[in-house]
Amino acid sequence: MGKTVLVTGASSGIGKATAIYLAQNGYNVYGAARRVEKMQDLKTYGIHPIALDVTKEESMVACVEQMLKEAGSIDILINNAGSGYYGALEDMPMADAKYQIEVNVFGVARLIQLVLPTMRKNNYGKIVNISSVGGKVTLPMGAWYHASKFAIEGLSDALRKEVKPFGVDVIVIEPGGTKSEMTALGDEYMTGVSGNTVYSSLAKGVSKMYATMQKDAADPIVIAKLIKQGIEATHPKTRYAGAAGAKLIL
């Protein structure tokens, strides 16, 4: 059996494609998400579905403990679970903003804390953090999403320097537009837009751009392949960027 991998957000989109692709390539894959029912089909690929809510401490601890008990180690962590709320910063309820940071930043960081002891013990580990092209460039109406992904970029770069002496690599993936549940959402995704005409017009423009991007968006397998490339490289690059649609944002 190959290396043991935890893929978060494996119930849809990039996470699901990555879990399947890695399982097909000999990895021992645990696919984690809240909607366990949406991961039952993963069993046909030999993937172990596991319940995980990255906003809940006890859920993250239980997930890691179960994997260590069953597989003995966690060699690769793919921090893919993510959430996106869009809307003018002035309008965005702070609860929504906090939730987004909770999932995209604190969830990522806490899982890293939980897997590092086993990685350090084995002097081997790959931590893959899924950022975004939106972790490099920004659009209006995406302040909190961008803030969360910019945070992941900085967190990953600092962490890389800390854990390199323990044989642990930190790899950042920056997808462009990729077909998934997140990008399939339409205007209803744009929360908190007030009656202000400037915000409304900006929101309309961004919605239109996302709709175009959705048409051109790449299959998640493109990102799954980049992830595999990253974890199998002897000297991984620090960043892998890809997927059609990225050009629309840049």
Residues that bind ligand NDP (CB under 6 A): 8-9, 11-15, 33-35, 38, 52-55, 80-84, 103, 130, 132, 175, 177-178, 180-183
Phi, psi (deg, nearest 5) at residue 32? -125, 140
Catalytic hit among 21, 30, 86, 145: 145
Tokens 């974890």 identify what position? 231
> What are the residues facing 171 on neighbouring strands?
128
CA 184 to chain centre: 16
Catalytic hit among 3, 16, 149, 179: 149
In whole angstroms, the minimum distance from the beta carbon of 46 to ligand NDP comes to 19
CA 41, CA 45: separation in Å to the nearest integer?
A: 8
- Closer CB to ligand NDP, residue 56 or residue 120? 56
> Is residue 131 flagged as an active site residue?
yes
- Closer CB to ligand NDP, residue 125 or residue 175? 175
Catalytic hit among 3, 11, 21, 27: 11
Tokens 């909770």 identify what position? 102
> Is residue 30 flagged as an active site residue?
no
In whole angstroms, the minimum distance from the beta carbon of 158 to ligand NDP comes to 19
> Is residue 145 flagged as an active site residue?
yes
- Closer CB to ligand NDP, residue 156 or residue 178? 178
CB 85 within 8 A of CB 77: no
- Closer CB to ligand NDP, residue 38 or residue 225? 38
CA 88, CA 212: separation in Å to the nearest integer?
A: 21
Residues 6+ apart with CB under 8 A from 224: 14, 17, 18, 20, 21, 22
> Is residue 148 flagged as an active site residue?
no
Which residues are identified as catalytic? 11, 131, 145, 149
